Amino acid sequence: MKGPPPRTGSTRLTDDELFLFDALFDVWLPLAALRKEEFAALNLPYAHRLEAPALEATVRGLGASGWLRMRRRARRPDLGPSIALTPAGGALWEVERRPDWDRFCIDFSGPEGSRGRWVLRIRSPLASVAEQFLDGATACGLYVPIASRIARREVRARMVPWKPLQALAEIRMPLRSADQVSRLVDWRRYEATRSWWRSIQELVRREAPGGEKS
């Protein structure tokens, strides 16, 4: 995806507002991270056109409409308030982007325990999708887990900040090194096997006629 993904056009959100929603669909971000000059760091291949005063006014307006929520940052107040979608804002985003939540997958890792071993967690509404991600991510070299110590369970958690708690399948496993993501990833193989999505870029790469991904 080299530019903005297609939208349905079924809401009154401007393109700039929708791009902000894209950045916020699964995370809280400080206002500073949404500034035009910082937007590229969010790994979206497009950016809004709002200069700082217009951005702040837009965020305030979206907050007043009940589509964004803000909370004061106790640390680094210079970065501005932390911002996230509300359920109403998330519903607008869903209308425009039409996400298939059953195929959504979350992967996150970090050190755990007294020895600080890196542990990977994979979550998805469907256990089959979590398993597919595990198979694909290990086959392409994205993660190198200790296969003999894989644990599976069901947890209650949020997929994204504006969604309610729900039952999610979780796969948990220690990784072979503190470098939790391998530098030698075969991204072509990853895409060839992918049936899930984790990001805006992956969401819009759907199957096109003829079996090719768009």
Q: How large is the C-alpha radius of gyration of the chain?
A: 18
Q: What is the pLDDT of residues 23-59, one digit of tens each?
A: 999 999 999 999 999 998 898 989 999 999 999 999 9
Closest CA to 19 of 36, 32, 28, 10: 36
Q: What is the pLDDT of residues 128-149, one digit of tens each?
A: 999 999 999 999 989 888 877 8
pLDDT for res 1? 56
Angle at 68 between CA 166 and CA 94, to 5 degrees: 55
Residue 21 has pLDDT above 90, yes or no: yes
- Kindly report the CATH class assigned to 15-97: mainly alpha
Which of 36-50, 63-77, 86-100 reaches the highest mean pLDDT?
Answer: 86-100
Domain ranges of the chain: 15-97, 101-196
**Beta bridge mates, 114:** none
**Beta bridge mates, 197:** 104
CATH architecture of the domain formed by 101-196: 2-Layer Sandwich (3.30)
Q: Which residue has the tokens 């507002």?
A: 17
pLDDT band at 116 (very low <50, low <70, confident <90, very high): confident
Residue 78 has pLDDT above 90, yes or no: no
pTM, 2 dp: 0.88
CA distance 36 to 7: 21
Same fold, 15-97 and 101-196: no
